[in-house]
A and B are shown apart, each in its own frame.
Chain A
Amino acid sequence: MTNALEKLLESFESDHPVVLFLGQDFFRVEESESVLNAFMERLEGKPAQPEAKWRDVLRARNITTADYQWLSERFDRRVPTEGLEKVFDLAWSGVFTTSLDHRIAGLLETRGRLPETVLAADHYSRAPRSKARPAIHYAFGRAIDAERSSPPPKSSIELKRRLSAHTVPLLNRLRETATALGLVVIDGFIPESDWLEIDVLLASVSEQPAPLVLWFGATHTDSEFIEQMVGDGSLVCETRSLAEVLGTSARPLAAETPVFSSAEGTISLPDNRFFNLPPSLRLRVEAVAAVVDDTWTDSPDSSPSQVKELFERFHGDFGGPRSVVEGILRGFAIQRDFENRLFSGTDLLLKRSRDVDSFVILHGQSGTGKSIALARLAMKLRTQLKVPVLFSWGRVPLASELDDFCEAAEESGAPGTVVICDGSHPPDRYIDLTIGLKSKGRRVVVVGSCYRIEDEERIKDQSYIYAPEKLTPAEISSLSDLLVKYGHVSIGNEATQLSGEYFLPLLYRHLTASRRRLAGGMSNEARAAEGTIRIRARNVPRRKTQNNLLAEKLIAAGLGLQSEPIFEDEVGLEESDAAARLIDYVMVAGRLDCAIPVNLLLRSLRKAGGEDFDISQIAFLFQELDLFRWRAGDPEGNSYLVQPRLQLEAELICRKRVADKERELGCLISLISAVRSSSVDEQAEIQFALDVLHKLHRDGPRGKAYQSGYLAIARTLTSLRVEHQVLDARLMLQESAFRRETLFASDKPDQVEPLSDEDRDVILNEAREVVEFALSQIAAKKLRAGRKARQNFSVERASIYGFLAVGLAKRKAKEQDIWSHYQAARTAVQQAISGSAEYHPIDVGLWTPADILREETLSEVHAAELRADILFTLDQASSGILGKEGLLALHTRKLKLASLLENSALSDQAFNELELINPQVAYFLRAREMAAEVLVNSSIDPTSKEVALAYEAVKFLEERFEAIQSDVRSLQLLLQLKWVHLTGKRLFARDRSRIPQERSDQQQIHSIVSDLNAAAGEGARNSYRLLQAALEWLVGDVHSAREQFRDLGHDSDFEDPARVLRRLLLEAPGGLGFTGKIRRQRSEGHWEVQVSGFSGEVDLLTRDFPADDPRPGRDVRSFNIAFNYLGPIADPISRHGDKT
């Protein structure tokens, strides 16, 4: 077998990126290119010369649009040889071509692939190196696009322009797409014919760290690059074409199995139903999470002879979730006690799929069996409950990326979908995902893994399941049996002696291949790990210089291969050693469970190493050392990531090798500073940076360990943005957040050095500039940011102004300055609260005025207003917008505020004084004081005495309506109390708050809520917008109501879990329900009903009326009208037991 073919097959087998470069002559058959000959004949008006070249085309005459149209028709009607078909059948990670033939995409549409074309330098493929969606980069455009943008060149001058504007930038992506570990395969390239000069092509792939280049069909060509690259081993030339080499190979190619299989997509559901995923949907969802279909739970192939080896490999290197599931099916892992709770908790949430808080967080230290537990959960959910499962590892998908899958699953009859994320991310990210999917009404449960949580409130919560480090006696016994079963009798016996040994470390120390050779004490993990590195990395070859043939032979014979130890005994690595840095970088990121995109890693090493950077060392460490893992970051192999074999190992190695925190921070900052937006891996690199940043945060797995580096991190992000144009809203948010965190940390002088006032101001000002710049860029549509990001910026702005105001108050600055900063913070807080169900903006709205109050620097009037704001924010937070998590945090904050709010009642004198200066605040505080008893506990229905008190307060406020009609605080209080007075219940205290049936009552509430929302402007809360829209529908204009619902539905999409909840209910007088007639079907399972007595229509869901068999023209009876953010909806009476 030829050297080139061997390398090519090895790369395919080890799943490394392999990129095809196709020259213009790729279609040449038996030395002849019939289309080229015919084209030349057309251009010259005479038969073409026997050896026509593509370069002759541009010499003949200028090409017209009609010529290119003619050429594209020829491309359409030519048939490739079997050899070409074989070439295209290979699983390429991407294709770059100088050909103008648009049919290349068609030729790649085999094996389930969906190729994508890239025509210009400013186009980026959605998936840079996906084997399922290979990108075809047309260096010179396509003939078929002659009339469109990015046309192919029509003259030599246009060719030169195209070359500089598009060809070279596109070719520059070739190297990054292949990565240093991958291959670039050149085929069909004849230098003297092609429009592309060979030196331009080779220049683009030869800069270190470079991939290996295989040139099939190579010809003798005068080029400095060829000589040099062949000399240093980075180019291999093969004179035969790729097709011919493949044809003579005795090794079979796996060209028949699908690169991307939609056929395997069957997901069996309960009651003998099936969910067949459409290929396009599978492809989209598999880019972010694996679909656990029926093939996952098939019995693994049995091979008794290898079972022990498989057992050891399973415990030494988990690989992806699929291999973990396979290991579990083989019985390689014990079931830990907490796994039963994990399963039953998930099952319970599936049954209560309408709950908003449908998430389970599995937390615990690394090495406690979380990954195995999640994989077993996936397996049990599929085999026992037959519920569709999506499994993501590494990153948390966005709700919008999974929504279509969940919807399609439910339409196929699935009881819901479980999304499992094994990534050790902060719980908030899983909660955000749940909220996003719930906002679309999906019956979904999110299960995520997380490092150990210390917060006591959360620990008590049933949604948090703890994976303890210590084994129970029963677990130890099972483990012992398991180890004995697979031939590890001594360890099995050792396990039984334990009274609660760490679980995975035990297996880790004993089972991974070489570790058995190491005698290590029970508590000496770090030394064992480092010792392993020493054993494996004893020798690293010297940098490969330009050896001549003789030198190569001598090296091959074992001479001259002088070794260079990576580790001096007990000394450690030299600072300048690229190999040392590589280990440090991978391990510090691995300690945080973050895999590094390969190009980013090599870029940062090169940046740090400068001239000393030695790619041969790196390659050796990757290939010969069993320390790291390359893995595809997603099921379709789109991004390539480097990570330690086990997170635990990284943790141990870091403790020993990178004990100095500053050095660890230095490594992380180097990695972050190497992120580039011009890279083909832009998204993967930015995602890596975000993952690292989230974990460096004080809420991350290592708590405050990194807080001394927060300012350096923030400034690194700023320099990334300013110097390297990495413009990303999420990173900009972190730029500000880390600066704010710096100040927060400096308030605890026992932990970090305190900051001077000047430094604080500088840092806060930098943060403010970032946020204001980001918001202005978003407004100008120069920076892409979703609603969520915009909200986060609002909160961030609120926090910064809050910090500024509190800082000024602490320094006893001028009241005017403090107040103006406070007002800015308050406005931002209200905007952030309006569309969010999160607690964070509420927290800012509470701590900012509270901290200022504590400083006692403001006048009585302003202090009263601060108290009013605190009470107002507490009222907002108590009226059903927060989830379980938020309520827990609110409770903690309330306790801290209690002392501030004690004895805050206004004396008559104070009221009179305040009424003169700021009547709105005076009336609010007085009314709230009158109704304090009503508002004290929002979780129980008001008593008759409280209803009476509410009425008194309402009367008080209504008599002063003119003064309060633009004050959000008073209007909200009036609305809440009015609702209590009219219905005897609290507004939004639970689902289906009953709307008063009297039209005059409805009109009164409509008027108040309309004023409230108008006063709040952009800060109007979604729930009040719902109330306004519902009442508009009942007593106002139906069309205007529909518009309000449409806006509300749009604004809360993927954001507010309350979106699909039926929060308001109108009951028919008499309790028998409304009647209506079905007018038409809106969509599958959705109908439109005309209700008797109303001008507007309501929606009806088939699933709510299963016995009625809805059809157009049929009558529907016995329903109430409920309202969610999407509009009015028929709500069956019987559902709530009201029907007698």
Chain B
Amino acid sequence: MSFSRAQVAYLQLRRRLTACVSEDVLPDVTIEPPKDPVDELAFLRLVAWSYTVLHETAKLSLGVLRHLPPLRDRSGALLPHVRALRTWTSHNLAFDSKTDIATIRTAIAWFRANCGTGTPSTNTHWSQCFEVLSNDIATLLEHAVRACDAFEDPTDGKGLKEEFERRLGRSWEGFRFDAFVEAACKLLGYSGVDVVPFRNKHLQAWRDVVELSEPDAIDANLTKRVEADVLQHMGEAAPLTGAEFQALLALSTAQEIRACLSAFRGNSAADRKSLLDHIVQVAANEFVPTGEAGER
């Protein structure tokens, strides 16, 4: 079974990277691997396993190794069909979305090329697809193992390891961003942010900032970016900006502004509209009690 080839290659890659870079550079793949006999389920598991390797556990390592021979000879994304197959197998695709239609087309084209039909239905079809995909991922990982030879090169090895370590150092765990969010909220006098969901929403963009900034500019660039995102969040949370509220209601301190903005959080759009109407009426001295929103 060629899947065992992929597993062995993954293990070898882990050994090599641990030896030359760091022991935690390639984590375990813990999702259920495919089993015999080869049927639709086995194929779906193989897709999930391959996707996890390419886009999660080995993403950082492959990002470096793909620039070294023999992986360097592959142009474009590594095994781009894995993403399409994973989306095709695991997501509810919409027939009126162009992106989703493109994904469906890519998946169908791959099936047709590898088992003769765009919609595999028999075990023979699934088995053929399984063989092709497991061979693809195994070959890729074997090439990645061979690419590790460059780390042992007396001339280039040092620089390559430095780049690998630099990337590793720039691959921040999510929690490291939380301090920046808290600092921004504090500075802006805004306490209503639920830090973890907020961080997760912006994680990739913030990681990009860390990856792309000069070392001495990481803190400054990240702070700017997080502050901008918190401000954006504040703007989205209330129908008016803090400045507009300040002008409208003649507020004078950050506390007052914060209280006003916080009042809008957690309410539905309809509630917020009523609240806004109420405030406008207050400001215009034309208040007439109109119900629940008005009494708040």
Contacts and interface: CB of A to CB of B under 8 A. Distances in A.
A74 B80 CA distance: 29
Interface string B160-173: 10111011001000
A79 B159 CA distance: 9
Contacts of A80: 67
B96 A244 contact: no
B209 A110 contact: no
B212 A243 contact: yes
Interface in A61-119: 74, 76-83, 86, 106, 109-112
Contacts of B213: 244, 247-248
Nearest to B106: A263
A243 B213 CA distance: 8
Nearest to A274: B112
A266 B101 contact: no
B224 A248 contact: yes
Interface residues of B, number: 45
Contacts of B162: 34
A248 B109 CA distance: 38
B182 interface: no
Nearest to B74: A109
B101 A298 contact: yes
Interface string B72-113: 100111001000000000000000101001100110010010
A1087 to B, nearest CB: 26
B5 to A, nearest CB: 27
A287 B179 CA distance: 52
A83 B96 CA distance: 35
B161 to A, nearest CB: 10
A936 B160 CA distance: 86
Nearest to A246: B212
A119 to B, nearest CB: 21
B163 A29 contact: yes
A111 B211 CA distance: 21
A295 B106 contact: no
B228 A250 contact: yes
B72 to A, nearest CB: 7
A76 B98 CA distance: 39
A112 B76 CA distance: 7
A246 B205 CA distance: 11
Interface in B173-213: 205, 208-209, 211-213
A77 B209 contact: no
Nearest to B170: A82
A247 B205 CA distance: 8
**Interface band, chain A:** 35 or more
Contact of B212 (A30, A83, A299): A83
Given A82-B212, A106-B75, A250-B228, A264 B102 contact: yes
A876 interface: no
A77 B225 contact: no
Residue from A29, A30, A243, A248 whose CB has the most chain B CB atoms within 10 Å: A248
Given A78-B156, A82-B167, A244-B213, A109 B75 contact: yes
Contacts of B69: 76-77
Contacts of A109: 75-76
Contacts of A34: 158-159, 162
B293 to A, nearest CB: 28
A532 interface: no
A473 to B, nearest CB: 37
A250 B232 CA distance: 11
Given A29-B163, A264-B102, A295-B98, A110 B212 contact: no
B68 interface: yes
Contact of B153 (A77, A241, A244, A250): A77
B97 to A, nearest CB: 8
B68 A77 contact: yes
B269 interface: no
A236 interface: no
Contacts of A298: 98, 101
A79 B212 contact: no
A250 B64 contact: no
Nearest to A78: B159
Given A29-B166, A266-B109, A295-B98, A248 B215 contact: no
Interface string B268-293: 00000000000000000000000000
A646 B206 CA distance: 46
Contacts of B212: 81-83, 86, 243-244, 246-248
Nearest to B158: A34
Contacts of B170: 82
Contacts of B64: 79
Interface string A298-336: 110110000000000000000000000000000000000
B22 interface: no
Interface string B54-72: 0000000001100111001
B121 to A, nearest CB: 15
B155 A301 contact: no
Given A79-B64, A110-B75, A301-B96, A248 B163 contact: no
A299 B228 CA distance: 38
A77 B160 contact: yes
Contact of A248 (B153, B160, B164, B221): B221
Interface in B218-263: 221, 224-225, 228-229
Contacts of A246: 212
Given A247-B221, A250-B228, A77 B156 contact: yes
B105 A266 contact: yes
B217 A244 contact: yes
B205 to A, nearest CB: 8
Contacts of A78: 67, 156, 159-160, 163
Nearest to A106: B72
B295 interface: no
A878 interface: no
B150 interface: yes
Given A263-B102, A295-B102, A79 B67 contact: yes
A299 B225 CA distance: 38
B163 to A, nearest CB: 5
A38 B166 CA distance: 19
Residue from B64, B101, B102, B159 whose CB has the most chain A CB atoms within 10 Å: B159
Given A74-B156, A274-B112, A30 B225 contact: no
B36 interface: no
A79 B167 CA distance: 11
Contacts of B96: 299, 301-302
A276 B118 CA distance: 13
B32 interface: no
B24 interface: no
A936 to B, nearest CB: 60
Residue from A79, A246, A294 whose CB has the most chain B CB atoms within 10 Å: A79
Nearest to A264: B102
A244 B220 CA distance: 12
A111 B75 CA distance: 9
Given A243-B212, A263-B80, 16 more contacts: A30-B166, A30-B215, A77-B160, A78-B159, A78-B163, A81-B211, A109-B76, A110-B77, A111-B76, A247-B213, A250-B228, A263-B102, A264-B105, A266-B109, A295-B101, A298-B98
Interface of A: 29-30, 34-35, 38, 74, 76-83, 86, 106, 109-112, 240-241, 243-244, 246-248, 250, 263-264, 266, 274, 276, 294-295, 298-299, 301-302
29 contacts: A30-B214, A30-B215, A34-B158, A74-B155, A77-B68, A77-B150, A79-B163, A81-B166, A81-B211, A81-B212, A82-B208, A82-B211, A82-B212, A86-B212, A109-B76, A110-B75, A244-B212, A244-B213, A244-B221, A247-B209, A247-B211, A250-B225, A250-B229, A263-B80, A263-B102, A263-B106, A264-B102, A295-B98, A299-B96
Interface of B: 63-64, 67-69, 72, 75-77, 80, 96, 98, 101-102, 105-106, 109, 112, 150, 153, 155-156, 158-160, 162-164, 166-167, 170, 205, 208-209, 211-215, 217, 221, 224-225, 228-229
Q: Which 3 A-B pairs have the closest CB atoms?
A: A247-B212, A109-B75, A34-B159
